[in-house]
């Protein structure tokens, strides 16, 4: 059996490759060619945390496995990461375990890459400025992924945690030193949004993190933070005034408070949530209709994303002799 660290995964699967893998698996997902039950959520209220168990099978790449990811926001008080995860890859022909790997970087990579794929399909080609709301691990790969598909020249980062905001550039430099040099921490979110072509939200907020009136025409928005029904990063006005695209309609409606809360309040209708990234990829839905249109991508994440990246990492590790072999 093979063990891979997060650093191994980063070296084996570059962001540009991860974006292309997301396009493959999003299309498979929409066309019903994958198996990925809704994730099992295990709340841990005593610690204000939650663990998610996410299995998947992607036949087109013989990918089979599961990821376990835990989100414990109070970890920050102890100087520990909010998100921790591990992924297991099985042999799709025999069911034998093939690899265990760090799932924390994997989660951030595939979430960023998913948003990068959406941005490649929906953001204006001349997009140059991105604002990221949320300076955690997810925010890093959100910015990194968008810069992989557009010529980003300025990165505004906003976070209520000053330490996280001010350390963002240094942490991003581990992935892309040149991009890190374009980072500008900001306190005036309204002013940053007025200049932005792309906006990413990557928080666990239970209330909207920006005012929709501050979003300028033609902006593309990637919303990846609110993954539970009680979380809501996005104001309902954004949903009412944007072209809405999701990773998976079923999962997004079931799990994302950004959609579920306004649906339950009667502020939006189910018909407004019908287009998946896979529809854009197979041609059954169109992308941006004009330079002034606001486009909005909501992702709650799907285990098929983890498995296609994990499978790629295992395959490349075998080719390059990387990782550590061990027996259970």
pLDDT of residue 114: 97
Tokens of 216: 């300028």
pLDDT of residue 82: 85
pLDDT of residue 196: 98
Same fold, 2-106+304-325 and 125-301: no
Average pLDDT score over residue span 308-321? 97
pLDDT of residue 246: 97
pLDDT band at residue 226 under the 50/70/90 scheme: confident
Tokens of 225: 């933070």
**Considering the chain, what is the average pLDDT of its residues?**
96
Ranges 184-188, 224-228, 321-325: which has the least confidence: 224-228
pLDDT of residue 83: 85
Tokens of 46: 């005593």
Distance CA 40, CA 38 (A): 6
Fold classification of 125-301 is Rossmann fold (3.40.50)
Q: Are 69 and 280 in contact (CB under 8 A)?
A: no
Residue 10, pLDDT above cutoff 90 = yes
What is the per-residue pLDDT across 257-309, written as a single tens digit (0 to 9) for each?
999 999 999 999 999 999 999 999 999 999 999 999 999 999 988 999 999 99
> 167, exposed or middle or buried, with CB in 10 Å at 0-12, 13-18, 19+?
middle
Percentage of the chain lying above the pLDDT 90 cut:
90
Tokens of 211: 């005012």
Residue 170, pLDDT above cutoff 90 = yes
Q: Are 243 and 290 in contact (CB under 8 A)?
A: no
* CA-closest candidate to residue 117, choices 154, 153, 146: 146
Residue 322, pLDDT above cutoff 90 = yes
Read off φ and ψ for residue 112, nearest 5 degrees. Answer: -60, -45
Q: Which 3-state string (H, E, C) describes 258-326?
A: HHHHHHHCCCCCHHHCCCEHHHHHHCCCCCCCCCCCCEEEECCCCHHHHHHHHHHHHHHHHHHCCCEEC
Residue 94, pLDDT above cutoff 90 = yes
pLDDT of residue 264: 94
Non-local CB neighbours of 246 within 8 Å, separated by 6+ positions = 252, 259, 273, 275, 276, 277, 297, 298, 299
Q: Are 152 and 128 in contact (CB under 8 A)?
A: yes
Average pLDDT score over residue span 113-128? 98
Domain boundaries, the chain: 2-106+304-325, 125-301
Residue 228, pLDDT above cutoff 90 = no
pLDDT of residue 137: 87
Average pLDDT score over residue span 219-226? 95
Residue 157, pLDDT above cutoff 90 = yes
Percentage of the chain lying above the pLDDT 70 cut:
100
pLDDT of residue 38: 82
Fold classification of 2-106+304-325 is ornithine cyclodeaminase, domain 1 (3.30.1780)
């Amino acid at each position: 059996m093979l063990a891979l660290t997060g650093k191994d995964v980063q070296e084996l699967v570059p962001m540009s490759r991860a974006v292309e893998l997301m396009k493959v698996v999003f299309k498979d997902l929409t066309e019903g060619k994958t198996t990925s039950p809704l994730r099992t959520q295990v709340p841990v209220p005593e610690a204000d945390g939650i663990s998610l168990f996410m299995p998947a099978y992607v036949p087109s790449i013989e990918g089979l496995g599961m990821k376990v990811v835990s989100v414990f926001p109070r970890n920050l008080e102890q100087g520990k990461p909010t998100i921790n995860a591990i992924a297991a890859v099985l042999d799709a022909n025999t069911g034998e375990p093939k690899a265990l790997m760090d799932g924390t970087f994997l989660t951030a990579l595939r979430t960023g890459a998913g948003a990068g794929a959406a941005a490649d399909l929906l953001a204006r080609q001349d997009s140059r400025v991105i604002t990221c709301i949320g300076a955690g691990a997810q925010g890093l790969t959100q910015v990194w992924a968008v810069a992989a598909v557009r010529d980003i020249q300025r990165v505004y980062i906003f976070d209520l945690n000053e330490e996280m905001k001010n350390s963002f550039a240094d942490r991003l430099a581990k992935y892309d030193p040149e991009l890190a040099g374009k980072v500008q921490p900001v306190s005036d979110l309204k002013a940053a949004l007025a200049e932005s072509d792309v906006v990413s939200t990557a928080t666990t907020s239970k209330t909207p993190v920006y005012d929709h009136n501050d979003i300028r025409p033609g902006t593309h928005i990637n919303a990846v933070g609110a993954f539970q029904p009680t979380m809501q990063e996005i104001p309902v006005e954004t949903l009412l005034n944007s072209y809405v695209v999701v990773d998976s309609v079923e999962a997004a409606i079931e799990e994302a408070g950004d959609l579920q809360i306004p649906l339950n309040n009667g502020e939006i209708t189910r018909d407004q949530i019908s287009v998946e990234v896979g529809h854009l990829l197979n041609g059954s839905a169109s992308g941006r209709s004009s330079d002034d249109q606001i486009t909005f991508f909501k992702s709650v994440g799907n285990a098929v994303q983890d498995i296609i990246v994990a499978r790629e990492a295992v395959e490349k590790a075998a080719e390059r002799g990387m990782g550590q072999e061990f027996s259970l």
